[in-house]
């Protein structure tokens, strides 16, 4: 029997991290302090004042993107001051993490280690990128996971099973995939209750907010641009990965639909098999991962299911599964793209690092979660064999070999589907707002661009995939200006605009410019050597 001090120590660590994370979230600048919660509060207050829900936009332009029933669920936040709401929301997120950890641990066959597993899982969750993102932004995603997981694990009373999934789907549509899973797993009554609960919530919202409901189901639902910059590296959905792979918008929807259908079918088939064997935790988490793969947008706070998949794999038997689980937990805690961004200059490796979370979810759905959440026989569990370390070494070597294979494949470079080359009016507006210029690494600030033919006024890239802008002047010797968003990516010719008075300028923006390369050519088509700064990042 494990000593209680281990469990107590884990929960002490969890509580410490939770308090520190909450305090840091509250200390962020006002404009970035639980920004999504600010949208919820503002949208609810707008409806309470009688104005349309989907015409609301926060100071940063963010709209309300959830179904109208979500506004009814969030109704109380409009009555409280936002400062109080922030604290209560952070506490609720922490409680949700505890509920997830305890619920998943309750389905572990090793009763003597359930408390330990719950403590470990809670600590892993609270430090993971998805939960930290939930805390930072004040996101609702963690609560959707809680509702869905309780139903999928059959923790809710039998007569109510499925209702929580329907409620979660009415707040955010992706849990509807669990209705299909219930049907395949023989839980037809649960599927019926989930569908009825979803429909009932939609009817309630239609009665309470008729105009907003009509607008959402006929217009807003199909406007994906409302959920943010779809081309951002923060969006790790399959749709976004296809865009970064260079598949054009004319073919992407068809390719995406086919891949999503295949991936979800495989995940549901494997989840059905797991449920038949009594592995409810594995089945639920696998379907949760499929909801991430199916959604056309997948921000970090959506990806709690991936963390749970990593923990289940680590707790499984087999070195390969454990190594895969450890790898998942690493990439869901650390930003691999940020860590490797300085050295990942080959197209294949860069593509893998830029899309590693989305690729991992797709692989999980196709391969499944392997063995049951049961350890080996007691004799094997407690025995320390001479080959134990070699087992882990083989597993880690297998994971490293898998990454190496992906890196060496002739994968496409990570193109930037969010690239926007500004026209004359947009460029004129950009430069009319600039009153300060600064020099390059060589010093000085010359608007005529005589040093190497190119001078960058603004070069903000951001390694996290947020939209970045590049603006500057070129000298008369530059006839054409080109750029690549990544090594091996297609060459884009950047228009050069004459603003008068000898000022020749350019301006563009994108979401994947950390590896951007600039090429300046003279009138004879020769590359102008020795630019004023190394533009490779």
The percentage of residues in the chain with a pLDDT greater than 70, rounded to a whole number, is: 73
The model's pLDDT over 294-322, given as tens digits with 9 standing for 90+, comes to 888 888 888 999 999 999 988 877 777 88
Kindly tell me the sign of the dihedral angle through the C-alpha atoms of 470, 471, 473, 479: positive
**3-state class of 1 per DSSP?**
coil
The model's pLDDT over 16-68, given as tens digits with 9 standing for 90+, comes to 999 999 999 998 888 778 888 999 999 999 989 989 988 888 877 788 889 99
From the CB of residue 2, how many other CB atoms can be counted at a distance below 10 Å?
Answer: 10
Q: Is 326 exposed, middle or buried (0-12, 13-18, 19+ CB in 10 A)?
A: middle
Distance (Å, whole) CA 250 – CA 515: 26
The model's pLDDT over 258-301, given as tens digits with 9 standing for 90+, comes to 999 999 999 999 999 899 888 889 999 999 999 999 888 888 88
Distance (Å, whole) CA 363 – CA 406: 12
Find out whether 305 and 267 touch, Cβ atoms under 8 Å: no
From the CB of residue 28, how many other CB atoms can be counted at a distance below 10 Å?
Answer: 13
Bridge partners (DSSP) of residue 527 are 521
Is it the case that residue 525 has pLDDT exceeding 90? no
Confidence of residue 461 (pLDDT cuts 50, 70, 90): very low
The model's pLDDT over 348-402, given as tens digits with 9 standing for 90+, comes to 666 777 788 888 999 899 888 764 344 333 334 444 444 444 544 555 555 555 5
The DSSP letter of residue 527 is B
Is it the case that residue 520 has pLDDT exceeding 90? no
Distance (Å, whole) CA 516 – CA 336: 19
**Which one is predicted more confidently, 114 or 200?**
200
Distance (Å, whole) CA 455 – CA 446: 7
Q: Quick one: pLDDT at residue 297?
A: 85
Confidence of residue 463 (pLDDT cuts 50, 70, 90): very low
Confidence of residue 98 (pLDDT cuts 50, 70, 90): very high
Find out whether 106 and 242 touch, Cβ atoms under 8 Å: no
Structure tokens at 433: 């707002």
Find out whether 122 and 101 touch, Cβ atoms under 8 Å: yes
Torsion of CA 326, 327, 332, 337, to 10 degrees: 150
* Among candidate residues 88, 98, 142, 146, the one with its CA nearest the CA of residue 120: 98
Q: Quick one: pLDDT at residue 184?
A: 94
């Amino acid at each position: 029997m494990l000593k209680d001090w281990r469990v107590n120590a884990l929960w002490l660590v969890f509580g410490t991290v939770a308090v520190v994370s909450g305090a840091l979230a509250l200390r962020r600048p006002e404009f970035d302090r639980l920004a999504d919660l600010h949208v919820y509060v503002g949208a609810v207050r707008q409806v309470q004042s009688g104005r349309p829900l989907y015409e609301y936009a926060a100071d940063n332009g963010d709209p309300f993107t959830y179904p109208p029933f979500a506004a009814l669920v969030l109704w109380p936040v409009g009555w409280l001051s936002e400062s109080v709401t922030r604290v209560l929301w952070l506490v609720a997120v922490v409680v949700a993490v505890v509920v997830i950890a305890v619920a998943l641990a309750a389905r572990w066959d090793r009763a003597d280690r359930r408390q330990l597993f719950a403590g470990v899982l809670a600590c892993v969750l609270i430090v993971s990128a998805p939960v930290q993102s939930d805390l930072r932004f004040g996101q609702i995603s963690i609560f959707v996971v809680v509702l869905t997981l309780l139903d999928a694990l059959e923790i809710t009373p039998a007569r109510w099973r499925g209702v929580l999934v329907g409620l979660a789907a009415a707040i955010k549509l992706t849990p509807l995939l669990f209705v299909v899973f219930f049907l395949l797993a023989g839980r037809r009554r649960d599927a019926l209750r989930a569908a009825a609960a979803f429909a009932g919530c939609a009817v309630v919202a239609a009665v309470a907010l008729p105009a907003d409901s009509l607008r959402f189901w006929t217009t807003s639902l199909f406007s994906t641009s409302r959920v943010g910059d779809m081309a951002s590296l923060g969006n790790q959905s399959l749709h976004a990965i296809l865009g970064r792979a260079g598949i054009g918008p004319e073919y992407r929807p068809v390719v995406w639909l086919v891949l999503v259908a295949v991936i979800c079918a495989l995940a549901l088939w494997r989840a059905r098999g797991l449920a038949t064997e009594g592995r409810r935790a594995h089945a639920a988490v696998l379907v949760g991962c499929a909801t991430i793969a199916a959604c056309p947008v997948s921000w970090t706070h959506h990806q709690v299911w991936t963390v749970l998949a990593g923990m289940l794999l680590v707790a499984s038997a087999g070195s390969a599964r454990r190594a895969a689980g450890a790898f998942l937990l690493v990439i869901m805690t650390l930003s691999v793209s940020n860590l490797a961004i300085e050295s990942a200059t080959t197209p294949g490796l860069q593509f893998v690092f830029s899309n590693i979370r989305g690729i991992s979810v797709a692989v999980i759905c196709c391969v499944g979660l392997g063995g049951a959440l049961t350890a080996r026989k007691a004799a094997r569990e407690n025995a320390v064999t001479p080959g134990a370390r070699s087992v882990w070494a083989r597993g880690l070597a297998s994971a490293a070999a898998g990454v190496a294979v992906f890196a060496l494949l002739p994968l496409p470079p990570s193109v930037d589907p969010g690239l926007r080359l500004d026209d004359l009016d947009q460029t004129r507006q950009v430069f009319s707002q600039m009153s300060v210029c600064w020099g390059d690494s060589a010093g000085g600030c010359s608007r005529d661009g005589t040093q190497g033919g190119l001078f960058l006024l603004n070069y903000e890239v951001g390694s996290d995939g947020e939209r970045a802008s590049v603006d500057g002047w070129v000298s008369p010797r530059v006839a054409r200006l080109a750029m690549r968003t990544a090594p091996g990516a297609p060459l884009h010719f950047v228009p050069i605009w004459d603003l008068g008075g000898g000022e020749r300028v350019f301006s563009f923006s994108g979401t994947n410019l950390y590896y951007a390369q600039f090429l300046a050519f003279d009138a004879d088509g020769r590359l102008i050597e020795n630019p004023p700064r190394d533009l490779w990042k």
